[in-house]
Amino acid sequence: MKQENIRNIAIIAHVDHGKTTLVDKLLRATDAFRENQKVEERVLDSNDQERERGITILAKNISIEYKGVKINVIDTPGHADFGGEVERVLKMADGTLLLVDAFEGPMPQTRFVLRHAIQAGLSIMIVVNKIDRPGADPEKAYNDCLDLMADLGANDEQLEFAMEHVVYASAMNGFARLDPADDNDNMYPLLDMILDDMPAPEVDPDGPLAMQCVTIDHSEYVGRIGIGRVYSGSIHTGDTILVVKNDGTQSTATVRQLFTFDYLGRKECDVVEAGDIGAVVGIERTDIGDVYTDPENPIALDPIEIDPPTLSIVFEPSTSPLVGREGDIVGARQLKERLMLERENNVTMKIEELEDKSGIEVSGRGILHLSVLMETMRREGFELQVGRPRVLFKKDENGNKIEPIEQAVVECPEEYSGKVIEIFGTAGGTMVSLDASGLVTHLEFKIPTRGIMGLKNRILNVTHGDGVFYHTFLEYGPYAGDIGGRKNGAMISMSTDKAVAYALGTLQERGTLFVAPGDACYEGMIVGESARPGDMVVNVAKTKNLGNQRSSTSDISVQLTPPRTFTLEEALEYITDDELVEITPQNVRMRKRLLSAVDRKKAAKK
C-alpha cells in the first residue's frame, strides 16, 4: 500500500544552480522558523567549507510538513567528486526535483546525478530556476532537460512525467510558478505539485522489518549511527534485529535509540514507520548497505555499490625545516589517528597505512574530494605533507590496463576555441562535440583523469579568464599512453632564510615567482617557476653589496610583480612526482621531496 502521509524527494542540480537556496525557501514557506528567528542564508550548508566554496559536500536530510503530509527532502551534492553520497541517498527517494538554471540549462554534473536517478527508476519533476536572471531562456532549459533525460536512457513513463510536471521558479526571490508569465509570489505551487503528483512510498506496513543503511553519522558518545529508509514493517526502540552485511554475513543487534528527521533537526521517537527515513543507534560497526531486518522472517535487499576511488594521495607527517611554527599537531601518531577516525565516518574514501609505515594512503573520487579532507585537517591545527595525486589504474577482463576517463566541458568565446582544442590535444583529450550556435562555443571532450591535472589554469590563461571549465568522471577506458607533465622547471631555494626584494627583483626576469619579500623560505622549497625546462637553484636572500657611495633612490627601488598564489587544489595539480605540498594552518607551500641539492643530484644518477 501507499503511505499517503509521507513523500521522499531528492533535489539534484549542478553546482551553483540554487538547490540549497530553494530548500531554504521551502523551509520558510512551511513555517519551519519562528517569525523573529534569525536564519543564515543557505542554512543546509552547515559546513564552513560548504559556505566558502558555495557547494554542497555532504548529503543532508531535512523534513517539512505541508497540509498534514511529511515531506522528507534529501539535499544531494552537485559535484561529481562527492558522487559516493549521491548514489546511496537516492535509494531513500521515490521522486526527485531536477533543478536547472534557466540561463545555463543542464550542465555536466547534472548529467552525473541524473543518470543515477533514472537508473533508480525515480519520477523526475523539472524545476527551472533563476527565470528572472538576465538572458534566461526557461523554455530552452526545459527542452534541454527532456533531451538530456532521453539521452541518458529515461523510459517513456519518466519522460511523460517530466513533460507534464515542470515548475518555473526564482529561489532567491521565493516564488514558484506553473507558467513563467504568472505573477504568483510564493512557493506553494511547487509544494502542491509535490503533494499531488510525486509518488508516495509503496510499502508493506504490516510485513517484517526491512530497512537499509545508506548514510553513516558518527557520535563520539554512541558511535556509528545508521541512517536509512524503512521499506516494510516498522522499527521500535528495544527491538532485536538481524543485521545483514553486503558480503552476506549476519549478526543480531538491539536498537538503543531511534530518531526521525524534523525540519532541520532530529527528533527522538519510539518507532519509525514504513516509508519514513530514520536514524538507528545501537548497531556496532554498522556500514553502508547494511540491511536491518526481522530475525525470524529476514528480507533480502540489493546491496549498495559505490563507485570506486579514482585518485590516491599519500599523507605524511611534515619534515619541513619550518615544522611546528604554525600548527599544533605535527606528530605521525596524531596524523594516523585522525585519518583512521575519518575512515570510520567517511565510507567514500579508502584509507590504508603504507607497508613501511611512512605515511597513510587516502583514495578518493577526485582532487576536490581529497582536498576537502586536507583543508579540514589544516583548520584543526595539523601540519602535514602530501605527494602528487596518483591515478588508480585497473585491468579489464583481458588483462589490459584501463584508467579513469572524464567528460570535460568548456564554454568560451568562439575566438579562443582553437586554443582550447589544442590544449586538450596535448593532454590526451579527444573532442566529442562542438556547438557554436549560442553566445559562447560549447566544447565537450573525453580525457584521462591524468590529463585533467593542471588544465584549469591553462584554459583560463588562453581564454583570458572568459572560459568556464567543468569535468566529471565518466568511465574506465583504455590506457591513453604517456601524457606530458609540467613543461617548465622550478626555482628552488638554496638556503633557509627570508626572501629579499633585491634578490626577487633579479629572479623575476627569469620566470614567475611564488613568494613575496619577507616570506620564510627554506632549502629545497619551490619559490617560483623557471621560464625554461629544468630546475634552477636560486638564492632568494641575496642582498645588494653597498659601497661607501650614496646610491640614488631609483637604483635601490625594485619593482616586483605580485607573486602567483596557489589554492590547495592548484598546488596538488602543479607538483611533479619528486615534489610535495606542505600544508599548514596558515600556508600551502611546495617543496622538493629531497631538500638538499646534493641529495637530488645523487638520486638523479641512480
Confirm whether residue 131 is marked as ligand binding.
Answer: yes
Q: How far apart are CA 191 and CA 68, in angstroms?
A: 12
Q: How far apart are CA 83 and CA 574, in angstroms?
A: 25
Give how far the C-alpha of residue 421 lies from the chain's centroid of Cα atoms, to the nearest Å. 26
Q: Which cell goes with 258?
A: 531511534
The 3-state secondary structure of 99-122, one letter per residue: EEECCCECCHHHHHHHHHHHHCCC
Confirm whether residue 18 is marked as ligand binding.
Answer: yes
Q: How far apart are CA 588 and CA 339, in angstroms?
A: 20
Confirm whether residue 19 is marked as ligand binding.
Answer: yes
Q: Which cell goes with 327?
A: 600548527
Q: How far apart are CA 512 and CA 531, in angstroms?
A: 7
Instruction: Enumerate the H helices of 120-175 as residue ranges.
Output: 138-151, 156-164
Q: How far apart are CA 176 and CA 25, in angstroms?
A: 10
State the amino acid at position 302 in one-letter form.
Answer: D
Q: Which residue has the cell 556500514?
A: 287
Q: How far apart are CA 339 and CA 75, in angstroms?
A: 26
Find the largest Cα–Cα distance for the chain.
Answer: 98
Confirm whether residue 492 is marked as ligand binding.
Answer: no
Residue 503 backbone phi and psi in degrees, to 5: -65, -40
Q: Please, are residues 159 and 123 in contact by the beta-carbon 8 Å criterion?
A: no
Write the CA distances from 453 to 389, 448, 495, 557, 573, integer angstroms: 9, 10, 30, 38, 5
Q: Please, are residues 510 and 536 in contact by the beta-carbon 8 Å criterion?
A: yes
Confirm whether residue 60 is marked as ligand binding.
Answer: no
Confirm whether residue 20 is marked as ligand binding.
Answer: yes
Buried b (16+ CB within 10 A) or exposed e, 63-95: bbebeebbbbbbbbbbbbbbbbbbbbbbbbbbb
Task: Please choose, from the candidates 48, 50, 28, 29, the residue with its C-alpha nearest in 3D space to the C-alpha of residue 39.
Answer: 28
**Ordered DSSP codes for 387-444:** ---EE--EE-TTS-EEEEEEEEEEEE-GGGHHHHHHHHHHTT-EEEEEE-SSSSEEEE
Confirm whether residue 576 is marked as ligand binding.
Answer: no
Confirm whether residue 165 is marked as ligand binding.
Answer: no
Confirm whether residue 452 is marked as ligand binding.
Answer: no
Residue 472 backbone phi and psi in degrees, to 5: -150, 145
| Known binding residues for GTP | 16-21, 129-132
| Known binding residues | 16-21, 129-132
